[in-house]
Amino acid sequence: MKLADILILGVLSLLWGGSFFFIEILVKHLPPLTIVTARVGLATMALWAIVFALKIPLPKTRQHWTALCVVGFLNNALPFCLIVWGQTHISSGLASIFNATTPFFTVLVAGTLLADEGFTKRKMLGLLVGLIGTVVLIGPEALNGLTGSMLGQLAVMGAALSYAFAAVYSRRFKAWGLSPLTVATGQVSMATLMLLPLMIYIDQPWTDLSLPIEAIGAILGLAIFSTVIAYILYFRLIASAGATNAALVTFLIPISAILLGVTILGETFTGLQAAGMGLIGLGLLIMDGRVFQKLKA
């Protein structure tokens, strides 16, 4: 990768790692549905402004909009809600580690559903190592039954599984020739339409409109920085360095989230969490394969 690509990768990891930091601030002041609806709603308005300003073509068929509705649910509405609810029970750093299991689920889903994405020895070994890392993280909680903390961990893993299905489903957009920015705008728009009536009915946010300044800043940061700008940089990175290099952000997100959580929020990072994250990272490296190819060379 070029230096500019490496810088974008670092910024992107900070933006997406920062989403866990922003959520950790917001769960103290707002219910999960309101947080997620505000995130996708504000992002929708910003992305539509960009689409119109750049005169990017819009989806024209019912098939396209139906697919955007599906991916809006799988890639935004459901996983965002699961992550925010999960962070009401676990720390932002731990949530980011469990979120890093997304590539493992993607390999499982793609290998099961797609004919051209078979299982290889390298992928299976990486999956096994990643699974061991996940067991290390959950292990002690499992002995206590379904506690709030374990349910929070399972919720974030459910979000990772949802992201995996979204990644496999989203392959059709490239074949249709839809621009990545159009897809991003469409999916957050559909997520907003799904969540808004639920949020109004369940949370009734107008009953308490008082928010401290840090919560307002966290909402704006989550929507603008961790969603709009992050999407733009991600697609820019894919165009410049390729999807495989862009996927390296998966390794860096937990590091950013943990650093923010420990230094600013005062969260603890235990040796068990470090061991679990290390095993998950090793599993990702094995699946990626490039490091070991370089070592052989």
Cα–Cα distance, 128 to 122 (Å, whole number): 10
pLDDT value at 57 more than 80: yes
Mean pLDDT of the chain: 88
DSSP state of 205: G
Q: pLDDT tens digits for 72-104?
A: 999 999 999 999 999 999 999 999 999 988 888
pLDDT of amino acid 75: 93
pLDDT of amino acid 17: 92
pLDDT of amino acid 131: 86
pTM comes to: 0.90
Domain regions of the chain by residue span: 3-296
Residue with the bigger pLDDT between 240 and 247: it is 240
Q: Which residue is associated with the tokens 């469409």?
A: 186
pLDDT of amino acid 20: 95
Cα–Cα distance, 209 to 181 (Å, whole number): 32
pLDDT value at 43 more than 80: yes
* Percentages (nearest 5) of helix, strand, coil residues in the chain: 80, 0, 20
pLDDT value at 118 more than 80: no
Quote the tokens at residue 103: 């590539």
pLDDT value at 297 more than 70: no
pLDDT of amino acid 22: 96
Query: SS3 for 38?
Result: helix
Q: What is the mean pLDDT of residues 108-117?
A: 82
Q: Residue 147 corresponds to which amino acid? A: T
Give the best-scoring range by mean pLDDT among 113-117, 126-130, 146-150: 126-130
Quote the tokens at residue 186: 């469409």
Confidence category of residue 51, pLDDT binned at 50, 70, 90: very high
pLDDT of amino acid 143: 54
